[in-house]
Amino acid sequence: MIEAITLTKKFSEFTAVDRLSFQVNPGEIYGLLGPNGSGKSTTMRMLLGLLKPTMGTARINGFDVLENTVEAKRFMGFVPEEAVLPDRLTGWEYINYVGDIWRVPRGSKRDEEIDELLTLLDIKDASDDLIETYSKGMSRKIGIVAALIHTPKILILDELPTVVTLIAMEPMKDIMTMKLKIVEPNWILSIITAWKNSHPRRFDRKRIPHRIAIATTRAII
Protein backbone atom coordinates (compact mmCIF):
# COMPACT_ATOMS: atom_id res chain seq x y z
CA MET A 1 0.00 0.00 0.00
CA ILE A 2 1.12 3.55 -0.77
CA GLU A 3 -0.04 6.31 1.56
CA ALA A 4 0.61 10.01 1.04
CA ILE A 5 -0.56 12.18 3.93
CA THR A 6 -0.63 15.96 3.38
CA LEU A 7 2.63 15.75 1.42
CA THR A 8 3.98 19.23 0.84
CA LYS A 9 7.20 20.34 -0.77
CA LYS A 10 8.36 23.94 -1.02
CA PHE A 11 11.44 25.25 -2.79
CA SER A 12 12.00 28.65 -1.24
CA GLU A 13 8.76 30.54 -2.00
CA PHE A 14 7.59 28.05 -4.65
CA THR A 15 5.21 25.28 -3.60
CA ALA A 16 5.73 22.26 -5.86
CA VAL A 17 3.36 19.93 -3.99
CA ASP A 18 0.65 21.31 -1.74
CA ARG A 19 -0.92 19.13 0.98
CA LEU A 20 -1.24 16.07 -1.24
CA SER A 21 -3.05 13.04 0.22
CA PHE A 22 -3.92 9.81 -1.54
CA GLN A 23 -3.84 6.06 -1.03
CA VAL A 24 -3.07 3.26 -3.45
CA ASN A 25 -4.37 -0.13 -2.39
CA PRO A 26 -2.92 -3.57 -3.17
CA GLY A 27 -3.88 -4.89 -6.59
CA GLU A 28 -4.37 -1.47 -8.19
CA ILE A 29 -2.86 0.33 -11.13
CA TYR A 30 -2.54 4.01 -10.23
CA GLY A 31 -1.85 6.68 -12.79
CA LEU A 32 -0.45 10.08 -11.88
CA LEU A 33 -1.14 12.24 -14.91
CA GLY A 34 -0.62 15.93 -15.50
CA PRO A 35 1.31 18.66 -17.31
CA ASN A 36 4.97 19.44 -16.77
CA GLY A 37 5.54 21.32 -13.55
CA SER A 38 2.53 19.85 -11.79
CA GLY A 39 4.60 18.17 -9.08
CA LYS A 40 4.55 14.57 -10.32
CA SER A 41 8.30 13.99 -10.21
CA THR A 42 8.58 15.79 -6.88
CA THR A 43 5.85 13.52 -5.47
CA MET A 44 7.63 10.46 -6.85
CA ARG A 45 10.95 11.49 -5.28
CA MET A 46 9.25 11.92 -1.91
CA LEU A 47 7.60 8.49 -2.20
CA LEU A 48 10.98 6.95 -3.03
CA GLY A 49 12.61 8.61 -0.03
CA LEU A 50 14.89 10.70 -2.23
CA LEU A 51 13.43 14.05 -1.22
CA LYS A 52 12.39 15.17 2.24
CA PRO A 53 8.89 16.69 2.38
CA THR A 54 8.50 20.18 3.82
CA MET A 55 5.44 18.82 5.58
CA GLY A 56 3.52 15.56 5.69
CA THR A 57 4.64 11.98 5.29
CA ALA A 58 4.59 9.01 2.95
CA ARG A 59 4.34 5.36 3.93
CA ILE A 60 5.03 2.23 1.90
CA ASN A 61 3.34 -0.85 3.35
CA GLY A 62 3.28 0.91 6.70
CA PHE A 63 6.93 2.00 6.66
CA ASP A 64 7.68 5.72 6.76
CA VAL A 65 9.91 6.45 3.75
CA LEU A 66 12.17 8.73 5.80
CA GLU A 67 12.27 6.95 9.15
CA ASN A 68 12.43 3.45 7.64
CA THR A 69 13.93 4.17 4.23
CA VAL A 70 15.59 0.80 3.58
CA GLU A 71 12.55 -1.21 4.67
CA ALA A 72 10.23 0.93 2.52
CA LYS A 73 12.46 0.66 -0.55
CA ARG A 74 12.45 -3.14 -0.39
CA PHE A 75 8.81 -3.04 -1.43
CA MET A 76 9.43 -0.86 -4.49
CA GLY A 77 10.82 -1.31 -7.97
CA PHE A 78 11.49 1.85 -9.96
CA VAL A 79 12.00 2.39 -13.69
CA PRO A 80 13.10 6.00 -14.37
CA GLU A 81 12.41 7.80 -17.62
CA GLU A 82 16.10 8.02 -18.47
CA ALA A 83 17.85 5.04 -16.94
CA VAL A 84 21.63 5.48 -16.91
CA LEU A 85 22.89 1.90 -17.17
CA PRO A 86 26.56 0.87 -17.13
CA ASP A 87 27.62 0.66 -20.78
CA ARG A 88 30.38 -1.89 -20.23
CA LEU A 89 28.09 -4.51 -18.72
CA THR A 90 25.80 -6.81 -20.64
CA GLY A 91 22.09 -6.73 -19.91
CA TRP A 92 22.37 -10.06 -18.08
CA GLU A 93 25.31 -8.85 -15.99
CA TYR A 94 23.49 -5.67 -15.00
CA ILE A 95 20.34 -7.49 -13.92
CA ASN A 96 22.40 -9.88 -11.82
CA TYR A 97 24.34 -6.96 -10.36
CA VAL A 98 21.06 -5.42 -9.20
CA GLY A 99 19.98 -8.81 -7.88
CA ASP A 100 23.15 -9.01 -5.79
CA ILE A 101 22.52 -5.51 -4.40
CA TRP A 102 19.09 -6.69 -3.25
CA ARG A 103 20.66 -9.91 -1.95
CA VAL A 104 18.43 -12.08 -4.08
CA PRO A 105 19.86 -15.61 -3.69
CA ARG A 106 21.88 -16.71 -6.69
CA GLY A 107 20.94 -19.98 -8.32
CA SER A 108 18.66 -21.63 -10.83
CA LYS A 109 15.48 -20.05 -9.44
CA ARG A 110 16.79 -16.52 -9.95
CA ASP A 111 18.19 -17.37 -13.37
CA GLU A 112 14.89 -18.92 -14.48
CA GLU A 113 12.86 -15.88 -13.44
CA ILE A 114 15.26 -13.48 -15.19
CA ASP A 115 15.10 -15.70 -18.25
CA GLU A 116 11.31 -15.67 -18.25
CA LEU A 117 11.13 -11.89 -17.90
CA LEU A 118 13.68 -11.36 -20.68
CA THR A 119 11.71 -13.71 -22.93
CA LEU A 120 8.39 -12.00 -22.21
CA LEU A 121 9.90 -8.62 -23.09
CA ASP A 122 11.52 -10.07 -26.21
CA ILE A 123 15.05 -9.09 -25.28
CA LYS A 124 16.55 -12.41 -24.23
CA ASP A 125 18.60 -12.74 -27.43
CA ALA A 126 20.29 -9.40 -26.72
CA SER A 127 20.86 -9.96 -23.00
CA ASP A 128 24.48 -11.03 -23.56
CA ASP A 129 25.28 -7.91 -25.60
CA LEU A 130 26.88 -4.84 -24.05
CA ILE A 131 24.38 -2.23 -22.90
CA GLU A 132 26.24 0.40 -24.97
CA THR A 133 24.84 -1.31 -28.08
CA TYR A 134 21.23 -1.07 -26.89
CA SER A 135 18.56 1.27 -28.17
CA LYS A 136 16.63 3.38 -25.64
CA GLY A 137 13.75 0.90 -25.75
CA MET A 138 16.05 -2.07 -25.11
CA SER A 139 17.64 -0.31 -22.14
CA ARG A 140 14.17 0.42 -20.80
CA LYS A 141 13.25 -3.26 -20.99
CA ILE A 142 16.41 -4.27 -19.13
CA GLY A 143 15.52 -1.64 -16.54
CA ILE A 144 12.08 -3.20 -16.07
CA VAL A 145 13.57 -6.64 -15.49
CA ALA A 146 16.11 -5.21 -13.03
CA ALA A 147 13.33 -3.36 -11.18
CA LEU A 148 11.47 -6.65 -10.72
CA ILE A 149 14.45 -8.80 -9.68
CA HIS A 150 13.75 -8.55 -5.95
CA THR A 151 10.02 -9.23 -6.38
CA PRO A 152 8.75 -5.83 -5.22
CA LYS A 153 5.12 -5.30 -4.33
CA ILE A 154 5.11 -1.88 -6.02
CA LEU A 155 6.44 -1.05 -9.48
CA ILE A 156 6.78 2.63 -10.40
CA LEU A 157 7.18 3.56 -14.07
CA ASP A 158 8.24 7.15 -14.73
CA GLU A 159 6.86 8.66 -17.95
CA LEU A 160 4.30 6.47 -19.68
CA PRO A 161 4.83 7.58 -23.31
CA THR A 162 8.10 5.64 -23.57
CA VAL A 163 6.55 2.47 -22.15
CA VAL A 164 2.96 2.70 -23.34
CA THR A 165 3.60 0.24 -26.15
CA LEU A 166 5.04 -2.23 -23.65
CA ILE A 167 2.10 -1.90 -21.29
CA ALA A 168 -0.42 -2.26 -24.10
CA MET A 169 1.22 -5.50 -25.19
CA GLU A 170 0.32 -8.92 -23.91
CA PRO A 171 3.89 -9.56 -22.65
CA MET A 172 3.57 -6.77 -20.09
CA LYS A 173 0.25 -8.18 -18.92
CA ASP A 174 1.90 -11.59 -18.64
CA ILE A 175 4.68 -10.10 -16.52
CA MET A 176 2.13 -8.45 -14.28
CA THR A 177 0.22 -11.71 -13.94
CA MET A 178 3.41 -13.63 -13.21
CA LYS A 179 4.42 -11.22 -10.46
CA LEU A 180 0.90 -11.30 -9.06
CA LYS A 181 1.21 -15.06 -8.69
CA ILE A 182 4.44 -14.59 -6.77
CA VAL A 183 3.26 -11.90 -4.36
CA GLU A 184 -0.47 -12.77 -4.39
CA PRO A 185 -2.82 -9.81 -5.02
CA ASN A 186 -0.63 -7.29 -3.22
CA TRP A 187 0.98 -5.80 -6.31
CA ILE A 188 0.73 -2.15 -7.31
CA LEU A 189 1.68 -0.56 -10.63
CA SER A 190 2.12 3.19 -10.41
CA ILE A 191 2.53 5.20 -13.61
CA ILE A 192 3.82 8.77 -13.54
CA THR A 193 3.50 10.69 -16.78
CA ALA A 194 3.09 14.13 -18.30
CA TRP A 195 1.23 12.77 -21.33
CA LYS A 196 -2.28 14.16 -21.09
CA ASN A 197 -3.76 11.57 -23.45
CA SER A 198 -2.25 8.53 -21.73
CA HIS A 199 -5.35 7.08 -20.09
CA PRO A 200 -4.54 3.33 -20.12
CA ARG A 201 -7.70 2.23 -21.94
CA ARG A 202 -6.08 -1.04 -22.91
CA PHE A 203 -5.59 -2.32 -19.39
CA ASP A 204 -7.62 -5.45 -18.71
CA ARG A 205 -9.87 -4.21 -15.93
CA LYS A 206 -11.06 -7.71 -15.12
CA ARG A 207 -7.54 -8.79 -14.30
CA ILE A 208 -6.25 -5.76 -12.41
CA PRO A 209 -8.41 -2.83 -11.28
CA HIS A 210 -7.08 0.63 -11.91
CA ARG A 211 -7.82 4.24 -11.18
CA ILE A 212 -6.43 7.45 -12.53
CA ALA A 213 -5.37 10.54 -10.62
CA ILE A 214 -4.94 13.86 -12.39
CA ALA A 215 -2.11 16.07 -11.17
CA THR A 216 -2.84 19.78 -11.37
CA THR A 217 -0.33 22.50 -10.54
CA ARG A 218 -1.36 22.26 -6.90
CA ALA A 219 -2.61 18.81 -6.05
CA ILE A 220 -4.25 15.65 -7.30
CA ILE A 221 -7.96 15.85 -8.11
Per-residue pLDDT reduced to its tens digit, 174-191: 665 555 444 444 455 555
Q: Is the pLDDT of residue 219 over 70?
A: no
Q: How many CA atoms lie within 13 A of 134 on its CB side?
A: 29
The β-bridge relationship of strands 55-60 and 2-11 is antiparallel
More confident call, 69 vs 183: 69
Question: What is the reported pLDDT for 176?
Answer: 57
* Closest C-alpha among 72, 70, 24 to residue 190: 24
Confidence of residue 196 (pLDDT cuts 50, 70, 90): very low
Q: Is 214 exposed, middle or buried (0-12, 13-18, 19+ CB in 10 A)?
A: middle
Fold of 1-63+179-221: Rossmann fold (3.40.50)
Mean pLDDT over 142-170 rounds to 72
Q: How many CA atoms lie within 13 A of 176 on its CB side?
A: 24
Q: What is the pLDDT of residues 87-110, one digit of tens each?
A: 999 999 999 999 999 999 999 999
Question: What is the reported pLDDT for 127?
Answer: 96
Mean pLDDT over 61-73 rounds to 93
